[in-house]
Amino acid sequence: MKRKHFKSYIGIALIAFSFMACSDVLEEQPRSIYEPGFFQTEKGVNGGLTSLYAHMRYIYGQGYYFNTGLTGTDEYTYAQSADGNFRDMDLSGVGSITPSSSRSDVLWGAAFPNINTASGIIENAEAVGTISDALIAEARFFRAFDYFLLVQTFGGVPLDLGAGVLKFNTNPVRVSVRNTVPEVYTQAIFPDLLKAIEDLPENPRVTGGVTKNVARLFLAKAYLTYAWWLENPNSIPTYPEAARQDPEGTVQIGISRRLMI
């Protein structure tokens, strides 16, 4: 600013233009967060595995979701001051399961980050080189586990989170494409569980750790659920639209492979 006085009573002024710019790039050294590189170390992969177990509580430990698993049955009903969180799953006529009010969002919100972590473990473990197949198999189990929950609840869900089918997402895209139910079963759930059965230990690595048997049980459950979906005796619609036909006879192939193990 420049100031100028006239002798008379009127003063005037000047115009100031200001320019600002900065050119230096800030070099970050994050201390309070894990940056992506950490996940590519042995410690990072192991941390990822722990989080796969931890995520169970984001689903089953979430009160509303926990409740939706019971209110919808004949064991419980909603109570006097219940809001939609508790009432939506009710079967006596007051419930209305809608995408915006039902608490299936708990699963929707927790499963994909976990699937992504599992994919990250599977990819990064190879790069690290010191992670045993048995540990990678735990990640495969949980990826299948989450996809199995998703496909039962929502029908077809995306296998490509942004960076490719069953790839660790490094690409921030804001759209997603849903795969069909058969695709989710035959491309994600079955192959992951089959590989998990091969590589998982007989006895758990830690208390509560997954084993061959856990994976076998889930594979059996997934086969049965898928077969029921294929038969669809009650003509329940699905989304996205897909033929009730197994693409390559996966169930039969799977069962025969399963019997060989």
Question: Rounded CA gap, 86 and 107, in Å?
Answer: 16
- Find the part of the chain contacting another protein (CB under 8 A) among 13-21, 55-63, 69-77, 212-220: 13-21
* Residue 29 beta carbon to another protein: minimum distance, rounded to whole angstroms: 16
Closest to another protein by CB, 95 vs 254, is 95
Q: Is 204 in the site for another protein (CB under 8 A)?
A: no
Q: Is 100 in the site for another protein (CB under 8 A)?
A: yes
* Residue 116 beta carbon to another protein: minimum distance, rounded to whole angstroms: 3
Number of residues counted as binding another protein (CB under 8 A) = 37
Site for another protein in 42-81 (CB under 8 A): 81
* Residue 114 beta carbon to another protein: minimum distance, rounded to whole angstroms: 8
Q: Is 15 in the site for another protein (CB under 8 A)?
A: yes
Q: In this chain, which of 64, 112, 142, 147 binds another protein, going by CB under 8 A? A: 112
What does the DSSP assignment read for the chain?
---B--SSS--B-----------PPP----SSS--GGGGGSHHHHHHHHHHHHHTHHHHHT-HHHHHHHHHTSSS----TT--HHHHTT-SSSS----TTTSTTHHHHHHHHHHHHHHHHHHHHHHHH--S-HHHHHHHHHHHHHHHHHHHHHHSS--SBSSSSBT----S--S---PPPHHHIIIIIIHHHHHHHHHHS-SS-SSTT---HHHHHHHHHHHHHHHHHHHH-TT----SS---SS-TT-HHHHHHHHHHH-
Site for another protein in 146-185 (CB under 8 A): 157-158, 161-162, 169, 172-176
Closest to another protein by CB, 26 vs 259, is 26
Alpha-carbon distances of 138 from 143, 186, 255, rounded to whole Å? 9, 19, 21
Q: Is 116 in the site for another protein (CB under 8 A)?
A: yes
Closest to another protein by CB, 80 vs 245, is 80
* Residue 231 beta carbon to another protein: minimum distance, rounded to whole angstroms: 28
* Residue 135 beta carbon to another protein: minimum distance, rounded to whole angstroms: 20
User: Rounded to 10 degrees, what is the CA torsion of 87, 89, 90, 94?
Assistant: 60
Q: Is 25 in the site for another protein (CB under 8 A)?
A: no
Closest to another protein by CB, 58 vs 209, is 58
Judged by the rule CB under 8 A, the positions of this chain that interact with another protein are: 1, 3, 5, 9-18, 81, 83-85, 100, 108-109, 112-117, 119, 157-158, 161-162, 169, 172-176
